[in-house]
Amino acid sequence: MIKAGIIGSTGYAGNELVRLLLQHPETEIVWYGSRSYIDERYASVYRNMFRLVDAVCLDDNMEELAKQADVIFTATPQGFCASMMSEKLLEQAKIIDLSADFRIKDVKVYEEWYKISHKSPGFISEAVYGLCEINREDVKKARLVANPGCYTTCSILTIYPLVKEGLIDPDSIIIDAKSGTSGAGRGAKVANLYCEVNENIKAYGVATHRHTPEIEEQLGYAGGCEVKLNFTPHLVPMNRGILVTAYAALRKSVSEQEVRGAYEKYYKNETFIRLLEKDVPPETRWVEGSNYVDINFKIDSRTGRIIMMGAIDNLVKGAAGQAVQNMNLMFGLPEETGLNQVPMFP
Ligand SMILES: NC(=O)C1=CN([C@@H]2O[C@H](COP(=O)(O)OP(=O)(O)OC[C@H]3O[C@@H](n4cnc5c(N)ncnc54)[C@H](OP(=O)(O)O)[C@@H]3O)[C@@H](O)[C@H]2O)C=CC1
Ligand SMILES: CC(=O)N[C@@H](CCC(=O)OP(=O)(O)O)C(=O)O
């Protein structure tokens, strides 16, 4: 059995990790890390875990945890994992960080967008960007995985094949993304109160959202060029889900079959990517609770643009599910192990 510890297990992403790891046949959770609930029963923080988890919450002592665990998930705020990172930790346990600390290769870009100084820049080059469908072989060899962000996972996977195949002009990409409020975490913030979110949709982080450079960097690798794009996230009144609608100028006139062929080239053997049938737009409800990414596209020959659409569950493929997928790869397990949750509805 793989011994897993979760720092930040009392957050939304951490709780989703608990839910998935409890259903994983090869994993045992040995550490429920917390900052505010130390010594309290985990099941009293999350009552869905009543009778399923007997453990009490422990602190965020990663050094102690590394002696007991084979893998540590850090589902903690930006800056925490970087502030703890050391060679000794990585010699003792593999680390999968759900924050952005090791996602962006240029530390100056990280510091500029996140407004914090990076506490262990020396480990950035070693970290593998854990978008499994694209970086699978590198993830298998990694000690430190930077689990991608929720908007970024959905945006990159939706757009990647068309950039890779040179079908669209990368500098013309506009991403309109929408997220449920669990994407903002469990911490109390006025912007996330019921009256602020209910019966409302709003854009935020316009032209400044920190997922912009992460998407640009990864699509830049795909296209072999520097990419500058517009990314606008919106908060919508639902618990889970991310919907991406992305627009780009086509480099030439293309047929439905050519575009479908580009997606199939990269995704036809991917368990978790479902390219939908023609004219069926992705919906967050059909992926909820699962690790699936639903994708489709529409060519607009009138404007010479293509509209690419993707949907994920932010807490599963956008966070905990992808983290478990990365763990499976790092430990040589079949990638789908413990991730066969069927989407729930209604
Ligand atoms: N929510 C989402 O959809 C996604 C989140 N992520 C990333 O995952 C990480 C966690 O996000 P999320 O679960 O939403 O956040 P939450 O605010 O819900 O949870 C944060 C967790 O971190 C713990 N924590 C807070 N501050 C500290 C600290 N200074 N030191 C140690 N532990 C601390 C909290 O402990 P306690 O509650 O006990 O105080 C809690 O367990 C973030 O980096 C986020 O960006 C990535 C993709 C999607
Ligand atoms: C709705 C909402 O607030 N979402 C979060 C994204 C959370 C996430 O996945 O991003 P990181 O892991 O990169 O922090 C936000 O916009 O900041």
The pLDDT value recorded for residue 24 is: 98
The pLDDT value recorded for residue 53 is: 98
Would you call 150 a catalytic residue per the annotation? yes
* Number of other residues whose CB lies within 10 A of the CB of residue 220: 17
Residues 39, 65: contact at Cβ < 8 Å? no
Nearest bound ligand to CA 321? Answer: 1
Atom of ligand 1 nearest to the CA of 35: 38
The CA distance from 325 to 21, in Å, is: 11
The CA distance from 324 to 291, in Å, is: 10
What is the amino acid identity at position 138? D
Confidence grade of residue 69 (pLDDT, cut at 50, 70, 90): very high
The CA distance from 242 to 183, in Å, is: 9
**Sign of the dihedral defined by the CA atoms of residues 161, 165, 168, 170, in that order:** positive
Mean pLDDT across 222-249: 98
Ranges of CATH 3.30.360.10 domains, the chain: 151-313
% of the chain at pLDDT higher than 70? 100
Please tell me the distance between residue 47's alpha carbon and the centre of ligand 2 in angstroms: 25
Identified catalytic residue from 132, 150, 195, 225: 150
Q: Is the CB of 338 under 6 A from ligand 2?
A: no
Mean pLDDT across 103-124: 98
Query: Which region holds residue 146: left if phi is over 0, alpha if psi is between -120 and 50, else beta?
Result: beta
Judged by DSSP in three states, 195 sits in: helix
The pLDDT value recorded for residue 216 is: 98
What's the complex ipTM?
A: 0.98
Q: Is the CB of 155 under 6 A from ligand 2?
A: no
Ranges of CATH 3.40.50.720 domains, the chain: 2-126
Q: Say which CATH architecture domain 151-313 belongs to.
A: 2-Layer Sandwich (3.30)
The pLDDT value recorded for residue 251 is: 97
**Span between the terminal Cα atoms of the chain, in Å:** 34
Q: Is the CB of 100 under 6 A from ligand 2?
A: yes
The CATH code for residues 2-126 is 3.40.50.720
Mean pLDDT across 174-189: 97
For residue range 265-316, what is the model confidence (pLDDT) as tens digits? 999 999 999 999 999 999 999 999 999 999 999 999 999 999 999 999 999 9
Confidence grade of residue 81 (pLDDT, cut at 50, 70, 90): very high
